[in-house]
Structure 1
């Protein structure tokens, strides 16, 4: 067995190879439309997905309900997908949303917010506000029965939405689940240096390019509604943050949790050894992904208002 073959024997290495194969096809001439199509294929849900999928119009924002097998609680999880605000979709994250629905026993409402560069900041945040208001008007028990969730840019968007709601005096959700959150679009955290060799996919130059694509070349990367790390964090609901130890965006998670705890927020973090960015998207490949999703489900079940109804 060659050294290369031996290095790809672990499940995490096989996952990395699949992701790199997609990213490696991208160059200066690759259109954003091609990147989006590649992402949807990379993370496509299996045809036998064990969930009910129902497209809905959330006051003009495309969305879809993902319902778990069997009965669901009265709680709902509002989900924002990742992809640097430029790629990612309801299709690319349907399996991950279904896993969260199954683990939590709650329906998940995925939000197809507008993407850059066609729709720059604050378009995604405007869509998040609209979708939240739509869901809030339909939940019998109000905000106490809603949790926010997201991964990467979507997790940052969930945090930006909570800051916006708090500042407006609007009802806040009961909790938030944040996977590999992108909280600092200026990429100032120490892990962009300390994890540069460990992270096989995301480097600081790529992160900054995505930030420019979202904000525009003259956008301010330290505006709290774009980079929630720079916001005033008191008054936010309980949150669980999950991040891989190999991530260049590790500091986006750890620094945010440190600041949130200092502001009196009930925030806890799970740092998963040897894991990469949003490793939860590979539940069939990684035992760690399955374990993290179970932990996320337990967190959501404990904080949403109604117990699981038994058939």
Structure 2
């Protein structure tokens, strides 16, 4: 299926904001090697900074299926269609607050509502608590009368993993599957075998192998055998019958190979899969929505892809 490598010869000044923010985080983590989980969470809650507040979007704090959430409601949106947004942050950091603006931009572009999950985080709640929360929200939405085909899962980084793995969980539970899946810079490979972990190490301002290893340790606790579990590492999953899938990644990020391998695995299984890689962009560059043209153009491409599915 479709694969796009967007080449940008000159990175916009606005897009540089994200690289600088990530470098600041990296410097602060290096300066404080004994950073507590509370400190990590405070640091990563700054993930909302690159995203400009979307116009004409309202928000509502709620609880769905027992899970704390923030709804994003663009003015005039179709509330019968919902994006379930699972935030990034290595399953341990990030929140609905750090990602509500990005979810708002996506909902507005697609003309739907979005619900951003505050799923249980590791290390207090290791795998598979996050998937259980996603399934609880999905079942609650179905029970409310929203049709499966009108629900999409979406997420970034570890949340991109959850956006994919949750659909695999829905299938195991015998539920009708959602109509679309969108993954930004998904972190999928818990075995850390991707080639770009090495080749893009000098250009990725945030990700390091030790950072990923620390997140894996918190996610799995003492059981490293889970690294090949398809619900934790979807690169080992069976994608037959999977919904249409849109994957994107930045060209300079270390997790680029995860996105490419996911696209290959899904395509081999006959999934309608699209991969968009934008040269020069960092991890989860769509969080620059409203600020940088590269992000806004990507959001527009996703909206066009989604509208084509509705026909």
TM-score (structure 1 length as normaliser): 0.90
Q: Is the 8 A contact 1:139 1:145 kept in 2?
A: no
Query: Does residue 113 of structure 1 match 2:114?
Result: no
Q: After superposition, where does 1:95-110 map in structure 2 within 5 Å? A: 95-110=101-116
Q: What SS class does the counterpart of residue 247 from structure 1 fall into?
A: coil
Q: Using the alignment, how far apart are the partners of 1:112 and 1:244 within structure 2?
A: 25
Match of 1:89 in 2: 95
Query: Does residue 32 of structure 1 match 2:37?
Result: yes
Unaligned 5+ runs, structure 1: 1-7, 306-311
Task: State the 1:47 CA deviation.
Answer: 6.9
Q: What SS class does the counterpart of residue 74 from structure 1 fall into?
A: strand
Q: What SS class does the counterpart of residue 25 from structure 1 fall into?
A: helix
Structure 1 stretch displaced more, 18-27 or 241-250: 18-27
Q: What SS class does the counterpart of residue 276 from structure 2 fall into?
A: strand
Q: Using the alignment, how far apart are the partners of 1:231 and 1:111 within structure 2?
A: 24
Q: Using the alignment, how far apart are the partners of 2:43 and 2:213 within structure 1?
A: 21
Closer, same or farther: CA 55–73 of 1 in aligned 2, 3 Å: closer
Q: Which runs of 4+ in 1 moved over 4 A?
A: 44-49
Residue of 231, 235, 240 corresponding to 1:229 = 235
Match of 2:7 in 1: none
Match of 2:24 in 1: 21
Match of 1:12 in 2: 15
Structure 1 stretch displaced more, 102-111 or 21-30: 21-30
Residue of 57, 66, 75 corresponding to 2:81 = 75
TM-score (structure 2 length as normaliser): 0.90
Higher relative contact order (CA 8 A, sep 6+): 2
Q: Is the 8 A contact 1:75 1:304 kept in 2?
A: no
Q: Using the alignment, how far apart are the partners of 1:272 and 1:248 within structure 2?
A: 13
Unaligned 5+ runs, structure 2: 1-10
Match of 1:3 in 2: none
Q: Using the alignment, how far apart are the partners of 1:24 and 1:255 within structure 2?
A: 30
Q: After superposition, where does 1:279-298 map in structure 2 within 5 Å? A: 279-298=285-304
Q: Is the 8 A contact 2:54 2:105 kept in 1?
A: no
Q: Is the 8 A contact 1:145 1:304 kept in 2?
A: no
Q: What SS class does the counterpart of residue 89 from structure 2 fall into?
A: coil
Task: State the 1:20 CA deviation.
Answer: 1.7
Residue of 163, 186, 193 corresponding to 2:191 = 186
Q: Is the 8 A contact 2:15 2:294 kept in 1?
A: no
Task: State the 1:12 CA deviation.
Answer: 3.2
Match of 1:300 in 2: 306
Closer, same or farther: CA 143–223 of 1 in aligned 2, 3 Å: same
Q: Is the 8 A contact 1:239 1:268 kept in 2?
A: yes
Q: What do residues 190-219 of structure 1 show as CA deviations (whole Å, max 9, x unaligned)? A: 111221222222122221221111111323
Closer, same or farther: CA 48–133 of 1 in aligned 2, 3 Å: closer
Query: Does residue 211 of structure 1 match 2:211?
Result: no
Q: What do residues 146-199 of structure 1 show as CA deviations (whole Å, max 9, x unaligned)? A: 111111101101111111122232110001111101111111111112212222
Task: State the 1:75 CA deviation.
Answer: 1.4
Q: Using the alignment, how far apart are the partners of 1:300 and 1:83 within structure 2?
A: 25
Match of 2:155 in 1: 150
Q: Is the 8 A contact 1:147 1:300 kept in 2?
A: no
Q: Using the alignment, how far apart are the partners of 1:52 and 1:215 within structure 2?
A: 36
- Root-mean-square deviation over aligned CA pairs: 2.0
Q: Using the alignment, how far apart are the partners of 1:144 and 1:285 within structure 2?
A: 31
Closer, same or farther: CA 47–258 of 1 in aligned 2, 3 Å: closer
Task: State the 1:253 CA deviation.
Answer: 0.5
Q: What SS class does the counterpart of residue 91 from structure 1 fall into?
A: helix
